[in-house]
Structure 1
Amino acid sequence: MKGIITISLLLLSTLATAAEVKILQVELREQGPQTWRAAVTLRHADTGWEHYADGWRVVTPDGEVLGHRTLHHPHVNEQPFTRSLSGIAISQDMTQVIVEAHDKVHGWSPDRVTVDLKQSQGERYRLERR
């Protein structure tokens, strides 16, 4: 009985997160002094206007929003997809930023990408300085 309950909980957990937006890749490119451009590749099981990935943002570890990209329409037949945002202000003394993604039904996904600004690449991110 315990095994059946464990398997059931695992299946429910998988189903609950299956529809949340997934961040596949983040590319941060320095544009100028303390100004960056981010290109974020997302995958989401968009079903139409009621349920689609509708944005992503770059935040500090404390949650301050540095840049936010709104996605104005579903991408049902375009998966995965990449969208960018320029003019993100990241001060030189910051050591990391976090990229988060949002969908209309589930809100902010627990799948986040932490970018170490001291490293040119890491798990699911690349960084290019001028």
Structure 2
Amino acid sequence: MPPENAPIEGGLDLREANVVDVEIEKLNGSYKFDVTLYHDDDDEDGYANWWQVETLGGEELGRRDLAHAHGAQEFTRSQTIEIPQEAKYVVVRGHDQIHGYGGQVIIVNLRTSQSEKIDQGSEKQDFSDYS
């Protein structure tokens, strides 16, 4: 649970770089990820500076760097990332300059495009037991 003074909207701690939506498109051996983040860049010195796609065990497969603050609004950025053929699930995780990898993540089933939102709190969580 975030502290009482944390900016909260829809149950999200906006000090964290929350992943709120992911759309994927399968390409030849890779996937195009359209990732929507929500972070209150107006209320702190740092900003959401990247999002990444990783295995359930936390191995980074690719990331999209963000060069500037986006205010207190949702924004979407895209990146094409090569994914190992044997991967069934990936974790899409946001990062901000002050708090690191906390906030909401989305786990995506690459075969069905279904996803699940998980609030990992203020610390990066491991999802290697996810099924």
Q: Common fold, TM-score beyond 0.5? A: yes
Structure 1 unaligned blocks of 5 or more: 1-9, 125-130
Could you report, residue by residue, the CA deviation over 1:49-100 in whole angstroms, capped at 9, with x for unpaired residues?
Answer: 82211110000012111111110100126x21100112x1112211100000
Bigger Cα displacement from structure 2, 99-108 vs 46-55 = 46-55
For 2:116, the equivalent position in structure 1 comes to 123
Query: Per residue, is there more helix in 1 or in 2?
Result: 1
1:15 paired with 2:6, answer: yes
| Counterpart amino acid of residue 53 in structure 1 | A
Percent same amino acid among aligned pairs? 36
Query: 1:56·1:70 contact (CA, 8 Å) conserved in 2?
Result: yes
TM-score (norm 2): 0.74
> Separation in 1 of the partners of 2:21 and 2:50?
15
Structure 2 unaligned blocks of 5 or more: 8-12, 118-131
Q: Return the index of the structure with the highest Cα Rg.
A: 1
Task: Give how far 1:20 is off.
Answer: 1.0
Where do 1:9-48 residues align within 5 Å? 12=3, 15=6, 17-32=13-28, 34-47=29-42
Question: Over aligned residues, Cα RMSD in angstroms?
Answer: 2.3
Change (3 A) 1:108 1:11: closer
TM-score (norm 1): 0.75
Bigger Cα displacement from structure 2, 115-124 vs 59-68 = 115-124
Number of equivalent positions = 112
Query: 1:49·1:74 contact (CA, 8 Å) conserved in 2?
Result: no
Task: Give how far 1:48 is off.
Answer: 7.5
| Counterpart amino acid of residue 68 in structure 1 | R
Change (3 A) 1:72 1:12: same
Query: 1:41·1:80 contact (CA, 8 Å) conserved in 2?
Result: yes
Find the residue that maps to 2:6 and give its secondary structure.
Answer: helix
